[in-house]
Amino acid sequence: MRELTYVARHSVEWREAPDPALRSGREAIVAPVAATSCDVDSAILAGHGFLDPPFALGHECVARVVDTGDAVTTVATGDLVVVPWSINCGSCGHCRAGLTAHCTAVPHTAMYGAPIGGGWGGLFSDLVRVPYADAMLVPLPDGLDPVAMASAGDNWSLSWRLVAPHLKSRPGARVLVVARGSIGLYVCDIARALGASDILYVDPDPGHRKLAESFGARTAETLEPVRHGFDLAVEATGRVDQLAQTVKCLAPEGICESAGNHFRAGELPLLDMYLTGVTLRVARDNVRAHIPDALALAASGTVDPARVVSHVLDWEQLPDALPEKHLKPVFVRDST
């Protein structure tokens, strides 16, 4: 089989690898049918990552199950499933507590698409081994489009987690979104659906701003600090200077969620944050724990993740198109 391999800045290519095989009764083999780039993949392709190539890329897809071990009970051959970005067993203490990004049954940070916790391959591959099928895979609900939900294993469900719990405890919160890619746009859509009273989306890209406006957000090209202007802020730029500006806009006891991946160091206005009373969370997402909730919101029809999909392309176009198409290109192949 082939796996799409990041080989150099702005460059990926197919490389041959052995077909994966079941190694225990708990495993499954899946074939991605709609795979897309995580926002961090754009940074990796631009050469901003900290991992040296080559490595298999991709950690967001909907896949078709093609084989399962004898002990697998929740999915079957032929099912369409969401594959989470992180490897998690479902039964260790962290997994049972919902901390699925910190599973202790595998090396810490074990994931698809980046060799930082062992080698698990990428999801831009013809076939993928899933080591804990019952714990990891989530059947795609009937009626949801694999192309629209290709991001459900990471960015879409992350975006749900960045705002949904906070809007539940702070109904009608004013939301600031400072972003560059799909996460910020999904956040606008979800925040509006869940009752945010005001959303300001900040991004220099005019196309992204237009999409955010279609989700009911006000927009700005750059962030002009608004003192005590927002109850909840989401920063997804990878830039510490943007995070610093974002936290300065929070109301007393405001919450800032950062989607992280700040590959370069920087300073935060900690005294200002102390005086305001800011809660800042910078975290890899325990995505598996809330994929079902995020899919349920998608199935409710009150949101439209398909609108963020920027290109629908054939699987064979991956090597040429992935380095060029940056917002949310979805690569598809026959799912039968």
Q: Where do contacts with Zn ion occur on this chain (CB under 5 A)?
A: 38, 40, 88-89, 92, 95, 103, 105, 154
Q: Are 53 and 6 in contact (CB under 8 A)?
A: yes
Shorter beta-carbon distance to Zn ion: residue 10 or 108? 108
- The single residue listed with the structure tokens 């709609």 is 34
Q: Are 40 and 7 in contact (CB under 8 A)?
A: no
Residue positions counted in the chain: 336
Helix (H) or strand (E) holding 166: helix 155-169
Shorter beta-carbon distance to Zn ion: residue 116 or 226? 116
Shortest Å, Cβ 158 to Zn ion = 8
Shorter beta-carbon distance to Zn ion: residue 151 or 245? 151
Contacts of 308 (CB under 8 A, 6+ apart): 151, 182, 185, 186, 189, 211, 327, 328
Q: Are 321 and 329 in contact (CB under 8 A)?
A: yes
* CA–CA gap between residue 5 and residue 322 (Å, rounded): 11
Shorter beta-carbon distance to Zn ion: residue 242 or 286? 286
Shortest Å, Cβ 40 to Zn ion = 5
Shortest Å, Cβ 61 to Zn ion = 12
Q: Are 155 and 38 in contact (CB under 8 A)?
A: yes
Shorter beta-carbon distance to Zn ion: residue 101 or 200? 101
Shortest Å, Cβ 85 to Zn ion = 5
Shortest Å, Cβ 12 to Zn ion = 16
Shorter beta-carbon distance to Zn ion: residue 95 or 278? 95
Q: Which residues of 266-289 are buried (b: 16+ CB within 10 A; e: fewer)?
A: eebeeeebeebebebeeebbbbbb
End-to-end CA distance of the chain: 18
Shortest Å, Cβ 111 to Zn ion = 8
- The token pair at 298 is 């998608």
Shortest Å, Cβ 310 to Zn ion = 17
* CA–CA gap between residue 317 and residue 331 (Å, rounded): 8
* CA–CA gap between residue 82 and residue 190 (Å, rounded): 19
Shorter beta-carbon distance to Zn ion: residue 91 or 197? 91
Q: Are 296 and 311 in contact (CB under 8 A)?
A: no
Shorter beta-carbon distance to Zn ion: residue 116 or 268? 116
Shortest Å, Cβ 124 to Zn ion = 13
